[in-house]
Amino acid sequence: MPEKNLLLARSATLRQLQVFESIARLHSFSKAAKELHLTQPTVSMQVKKLVDVLETPLFEQVGRKTYLTEAGLALYESVDIILAQLQVAEQKINHIKGFAGGRVKISVITTAQYFVPKVVHAFMDAYPNVSVVMRVGNKEQLLQRIQQNKDDFYLLGQPPEGLNVVSSQLAVNPLAFVANAAHPLVGKKLQVLDLINEAFLMRESGSGIRAHIEKVFDEYQFQPQVKMVLGSNEAIRLGLLQNLGVTVASIPTLMDEINQGKLCVLDVAGFPINRYWYLAYAKGKVLSIAAEKLIELLRVAGDEMGRQAFIQHSY
């Protein structure tokens, strides 16, 4: 390539391109500053330097949002590829270096946070030089992270559709009607429609469990009396402990309270429904040895949970 075509290579830095990419993706200078742990003046300065090199504006401000100009768009398409390629190179090098040190970044669905930390703990005991960063989110938040290629791998409540990922089943995640042990329906043989007048505790929109049970309820033509919408499994757990209503929840998230006799699984025909956790990572991703080892341990834990679920069967 002749030297005169290498203006950007000569005069721009990778950091400037990274800042530019972050602003373009987040439509905001301040969000990009936060993401990259920089101050806003630093972010603005990096962009200004890039603009000075290219002698054309890259962003325009419409209302409170920042949009790419036509030149910005042209740059963005290439920068996206360059940064993705750098990430691939970094992953390959980490893989070659082995895992004398390093970091595994994962994001897990809310229900999986009840078993993954134990596995991570065992992993860190076995590989003390590796650190693990684990984020927890609902379905919507995880799909966003997958799209932005934020983590090494993900644990989800269902296989992600329409995304360029490899996914496989990891463990059974049964969903059942659960109520406080003092609830009058505990111990009765029930049909779904017997719960028609019960106050129902519902998860927030964006929740995978909510989407799943709404579909199942449609099949039963069952419309729950939604008394409260609660934004997490934890809030649902507290609502159940206060006997505010019944819900359909992932049994593993409530196992302690069920074992302590504080909450009970209701005996409703057709339930528990066997849902599964899925492990997923971007197609073409070169997983580090450390990430592969953690996946191995998660698979062993998943198999064990499957065996337990089979043994307990009636919960």
Give the footprint of ligand PGA on this chain (CB under 6 A): 109-111, 138-139, 157, 173, 203, 207-209, 250
Q: Over the Cα atoms of the chain, what is R_g?
A: 24
**Closest approach of ligand PGA to the CB of residue 212, in Å:** 7
**Closest approach of ligand PGA to the CB of residue 253, in Å:** 8
Q: How far is CA 298 from the centre of its chain?
A: 16
Residue nearest to ligand PGA according to CB distances in the complex? 157
Which CB atom, from 51 or from 172, has the smaller least distance to ligand PGA? 172
Residue pair 306/252 in contact by the 8 Å Cβ criterion: no
Tokens 């659960």, located at residue: 178
Which CB atom, from 20 or from 115, has the smaller least distance to ligand PGA? 115
Which CB atom, from 209 or from 251, has the smaller least distance to ligand PGA? 209
**Closest approach of ligand PGA to the CB of residue 214, in Å:** 11
Which CB atom, from 203 or from 285, has the smaller least distance to ligand PGA? 203
Which CB atom, from 127 or from 177, has the smaller least distance to ligand PGA? 177
41 Cβ contact partners less than 8 Å away, ≥ 6 residues apart: none
**Closest approach of ligand PGA to the CB of residue 209, in Å:** 4
| Cα 214 to Cα 223: distance, rounded to the nearest angstrom | 9
Which CB atom, from 234 or from 303, has the smaller least distance to ligand PGA? 234
User: What single DSSP character describes residue 110?
Assistant: G
Which CB atom, from 12 or from 139, has the smaller least distance to ligand PGA? 139
**Closest approach of ligand PGA to the CB of residue 9, in Å:** 44
Which CB atom, from 28 or from 138, has the smaller least distance to ligand PGA? 138
**Closest approach of ligand PGA to the CB of residue 258, in Å:** 17
Q: Does an H or E element contain 279, and which?
A: strand 273-282
| Cα 250 to Cα 138: distance, rounded to the nearest angstrom | 13
**Closest approach of ligand PGA to the CB of residue 205, in Å:** 10
Which CB atom, from 79 or from 249, has the smaller least distance to ligand PGA? 249
- How many other β-carbons are positioned within 10 Å of the β-carbon of residue 3? 8
Q: How far is CA 300 from CA 116, 118, 170, 266, 287, in A?
A: 12, 12, 9, 30, 18
| Cα 221 to Cα 214: distance, rounded to the nearest angstrom | 10
**Closest approach of ligand PGA to the CB of residue 267, in Å:** 22
Give 167-214 as a DSSP string: EEEEEEEEEEEEEETT-TTTT-EE-GGGGTTSEEEEEPTT-HHHHHHH
| Cα 181 to Cα 242: distance, rounded to the nearest angstrom | 10
**Closest approach of ligand PGA to the CB of residue 140, in Å:** 7
- Which amino acid is present at 4? K
Q: Does an H or E element contain 228, and which?
A: strand 225-230
